[in-house]
Amino acid sequence: MLGEFSLIDTYFNRQTPLRDDVELAIGDDCALLCPRPGQRLVVTTDTLVDGVHFTAAAGPRAIGHKALAVNLSDIAAMGAQPAWLSLALTLPDVDEPWLAQFSAGLLELADRYGVTLIGGDTTRGPLSITITAQGLLDDARCLRRDAGQPGDWIYVTGTLGDAAAALQPELMNRSPVAVQQQLLQRLYYPEPRVEAGCALRTIAAAGMDVSDGLAADLGHILKRSRCAAELWLESLPLSAALRAATDEQEGARLALNGGDDYELLFTIAGSRVAEMEQALATAGVTYQRIGRLLSGSPQLNLTWQGQRVTWPVSGFVHF
């Protein structure tokens, strides 16, 4: 059976060339990195546990992709450019076809964003994947959760609710195969909004990525920015697949409370909107205005076509 070190060499030590700010990567006690003077380092860690964050049904390639995508989404949510990643992998056994697919999914995404795998750890145990990703900012400006101001417009990139829909057996069963496939693609292969995050860094006010559901995540901005908000439920952006699979209100409920969207949620002063529209058009990312920050204590006021409604608000709760 493949030993630990040839496993690392065969499946993980295969990116060339390395970034030029990596002096030493896989193979020594530590990696050695050289950010430029003045740059800020942004650092995030996320763990995916078998049976909690994914099931074997996803397949190893998707698991590798998603383990990195959720971390790159956090880097994007700060407005930073992702640079390096470390991988702590716990495996029940050495399954080479699994490792080949897993590493291909992970490294394909890393290569696409110019991110170098600089090291990690490999242990035996129940399948779990922890990635630490690091990104760079050219200066102190970034997208923080506490930077929202009353009066800011609230926007979200892309569309919401597809991944949550893919987890509803009844909805999936009544949908055409093509729709099922599009919803599953969003669940298994989320695309981190790296270009959009970088484009918004110096323009937007508050920002974060939507991972636990829009309502729960917007709640974090409200708390940290000490604002209330109105959210226009009929404006939540839904994909064509989700529209095909649901009626309008069911779709909006999934967009509000689902999770695993990995879109960017941001607030912006009215005076910066034209600049933002130009920047996101250049980045090739769609966006939708979905509400407004208000003065007051953190509270989310929901409306449907102008009328106040009290839909249940949930979001992913970890414990």
* Residue 161 CB, nearest approach to ligand ADP (Å): 34
Nearest to 106 by CA among 116, 96, 95: 116
Instruction: Enumerate residues 121-140 that contact ligand ADP by CB under 6 A.
Output: 121-122
Bridge-partner residues for 134, per DSSP? 43, 84
Q: Which residues contact 221 (CB under 8 A, 6 or more apart)?
A: 145, 148, 206, 208, 227, 265, 267
Residue 119 binds ligand ADP, judged by CB under 6 A: yes
Nearer to ligand ADP, 91 or 276 (CB): 91
Q: The tokens of 86 are what?
A: 């470390």
User: Which does residue 54 touch among ligand ADP, Mg ion, none (CB within 5 to 8 A, set by kind)?
Assistant: none
Distance between CA atoms of residues 104 and 62, nearest Å: 9
User: Which does residue 68 touch among Mg ion, ligand ADP, none (CB within 5 to 8 A, set by kind)?
Assistant: none
Q: In this structure, are residues 69 and 194 in contact, taking their beta carbons and an 8 Å threshold? A: no
Nearer to ligand ADP, 25 or 218 (CB): 25
Distance between CA atoms of residues 161 and 304, nearest Å: 17
Residue 93 binds ligand ADP, judged by CB under 6 A: no
Residue 87 binds ligand ADP, judged by CB under 6 A: yes
* Residue 28 CB, nearest approach to Mg ion (Å): 8
* Residue 29 CB, nearest approach to Mg ion (Å): 3
Query: Which residue is it, tokens 């996320």?
Result: 46
Q: Which residues contact 61 (CB under 8 A, 6 or more apart)?
A: 101, 102, 104, 105
Nearer to Mg ion, 20 or 28 (CB): 28
**What is the β-pairing status of strands 300-304 and 228-232?**
parallel
Binding site for Mg ion (CB under 5 A): 29
Distance between CA atoms of residues 70 and 11, nearest Å: 21
Q: Which stretch binds ligand ADP (CB under 6 A): 43-51, 113-121, 170-178, 209-217?
A: 113-121
* Residue 6 CB, nearest approach to ligand ADP (Å): 11
The secondary structure of 171-239, three-state, reads HHHCCCHHHHHHHHHHHHCCCCCHHHHHHHCCCCCEEEEECCCHHHHHHHHHHHHCCEEEEEHHHCCCC
Residue of this chain nearest to ligand ADP (CB atom):
119
Residue 95 binds ligand ADP, judged by CB under 6 A: no
Residue 89 binds ligand ADP, judged by CB under 6 A: yes
User: Which does residue 12 touch among Mg ion, ligand ADP, none (CB within 5 to 8 A, set by kind)?
Assistant: ligand ADP
x-or-dash pattern for ligand ADP, window 11-40, by CB under 6 A?
-x-------------xxxx-----------
Distance between CA atoms of residues 79 and 82, nearest Å: 9
- Give the one residue of 70, 78, 117, 302 binding ligand ADP; rule: CB under 6 A: 117
Q: By the criterion CB under 6 A, which residues form the site for ligand ADP?
A: 8, 12, 26-29, 87, 89, 117, 119-122
